[in-house]
Structure 1
């Protein structure tokens, strides 16, 4: 018998007070029709009420896939826990969920994405919770915000600090879902799910296990149904034994503003010359300098922002394939995409389920991470997760904390300050008007990355801006390179709230970075991994 039911019938299965886990990364893999049906049922009947929803990466956004905003209604939501949240332009109306969060209408939490997936795995195995060092000395730490995004959340902690085997750890008790809402491309009549048009597997399997093993139900949204027995067993990512109900949305988008692109799901490979190379400008200068930090043969994580353009720099320099890119949604290799398709990749080597990708990140198995910053603190800490004057624009940290906790090397990139008017002239940088907002501050507003912990762990931390390059040292932040055309005193030191250490070997950034032509980039080869074996 087919497991297919209507969206309205599926929405009617969700009881008041349920804990509901939703698999999505913004528009990527978002079960939008199912969330819409829940919102519509609430409008008609006033039920379900008082839901707690879990979103390990994020659910929907402001660009054609509403996701969580379908159910961001007073009375429907009682609590929300997410890796990140939808964000809109500063000129637009904030997403409904942000209005609820900033209005303190419901407790809202930002738990790192990898930890949220770990919590599902522990719930599935009926273990008590997650013990981890991920998040120590950041906003995740109970000594700071403890993941709370508002006052209502601060009154109901989700994490506490414990001592185990003589060391400090963070402990996240499991939150057991009664309902898992996941998404795939195809379901057969028995509920077996394949993902052939999806840009990532995300964490649907782990979420389904957590609900099913604890007596809950699993609802899958798919693009199409097929006959029982017609799916190749090796293609099934979530077996039908874990799926209770299936709804069909033939119009579901592959990701935000993308109905369907076969290159995103690895069904075709795009010619390399079809990828847009960034136009010459300040951000391209920064991305080029970040690229100079790489080694050939390395495996490198990418975040949103300026660093997302670094793969295109390598493409332009004829070095595509010299580095394997890994992103938290699960793609390995290929060319990570930009803008609304961020989180997807074309021409990927393969796709890891997100929970396993996060295990890779949390354990520091990769070589480097390229990330952005909003603020840099005196101690080297970085804020990417909160700015008081733009509360609905910053969307939470996602996997940032998981990725940075044990990364061997991190290159943060961004503009030196905010609002400056800059130009490029004959291989040098010109500051036409100074920015009003300093980004090098005595203390960051929100600690997404702990400089103190990075120093204690011996992590290699670099900050790249258009004006200079800096390194984190045990004594503070050291200025190591300065852009041609920039005055050290007035345009760097005076624009920082704290004194920078000047390297005795201070040098100029390469003039070629600031010219509208390829820079002739070469990458040193990463040493081959060798395991030393004792023969005693």
Structure 2
């Protein structure tokens, strides 16, 4: 059965009310902008979104935030979008702040089947409140649970029709980790090629992690987000 989806509604059919989503991107770089745009048009609500940030005002996940479809966000850098703080102050969204390294390692643990891990990051700060502490070799560590999601929406540069993925420079960011840590993985790509056209040395995410492939219709340029030519 083909993994390629030709319309965004079909690509997003796995996303349901109340789901936990991982969404790739650092700012708007490496974010699956076409799939996010599709979510703004889908009748879905009560989402928990795991992402480094929530886009920018009206752009990327920021557009989803404006529609009040996000119940909770777990991430590291929410201040890139002033509207996130405003929504939090109004009680419209719950936020869970994790340092970027902790966010990455928690997703890696989720993908590796590890229940959690201990880290020194956050010890002695408000981020440690309510978390288990343990002394290891005379130093205090915090326990951080692994993170997984129902669905991951990620962005890659190229995919072959099997679902093997390669990424473009910093657009790689959180996407490969998210590909391992969700029950269903949908990837938005710039180009789809035949098996054998990607060098095995370039492939970062093997096809066994990918459930669906969608060809991007929006892209990020110096001028902003535009429709794909």
TM-score, normalised relative to structure 1: 0.39
SS in 1 for 2:204: strand
2:177 maps to 1:206? yes
Residue segments in structure 1 that go unaligned for 5+ positions in a row: 89-93, 143-158, 260-536
Rounded Cα–Cα distance in structure 1 between residues aligned with 2:33 and 2:153: 10
2:46 matched residue in structure 1 = 50
SS in 1 for 2:197: coil
Shift in Å, 1:53: 0.8
2:92 maps to 1:87? no
2:68 maps to 1:67? no
SS in 2 for 1:235: coil
Q: Which has the larger radius of gyration?
A: 1
Specify which structure has the bigger relative contact order, considering alpha-carbon pairs within 8 angstroms and separated by 6 or more residues.
Answer: 2
Rounded Cα–Cα distance in structure 1 between residues aligned with 2:42 and 2:195: 31
2:140 matched residue in structure 1 = 168
2:117 maps to 1:121? no
Residues 263-300 of structure 1: CA deviation (Å, up to 9, x unaligned):
xxxxxxxxxxxxxxxxxxxxxxxxxxxxxxxxxxxxxx
Shift in Å, 1:254: 5.6
Contact persistence 1:22–1:59 (CA under 8 A): no
Contact persistence 2:159–2:166 (CA under 8 A): yes
Rounded Cα–Cα distance in structure 2 between residues aligned with 1:30 and 1:74: 18
Question: Which consecutive aligned stretches of 4+ in structure 1 deviate over 4 angstroms post-superposition?
Answer: none
CA RMSD for the aligned pairs? 2.4
Contact persistence 1:182–1:220 (CA under 8 A): yes
**Number of residues paired by the alignment?**
224
Give the one of 226, 229, 232 matched to 2:193. 226
Shift in Å, 1:132: 0.8
Rounded Cα–Cα distance in structure 2 between residues aligned with 1:256 and 1:209: 32
Shift in Å, 1:133: 0.8
Give the one of 204, 216, 223 matched to 1:249. 216
What are the equivalent positions in structure 2 for 1:362-373 lying under 5 Å apart? Answer: none
Contact persistence 1:51–1:76 (CA under 8 A): yes
Structure richer in strand, relative to its length: 2
Give the one of 122, 143, 156 matched to 1:184. 156
Residue segments in structure 2 that go unaligned for 5+ positions in a row: none
1:404 matched residue in structure 2 = none
Rounded Cα–Cα distance in structure 2 between residues aligned with 1:116 and 1:99: 23
Shift in Å, 1:58: 2.5
Rounded Cα–Cα distance in structure 2 between residues aligned with 1:178 and 1:255: 33
SS in 2 for 1:237: coil
Shift in Å, 1:86: 5.4
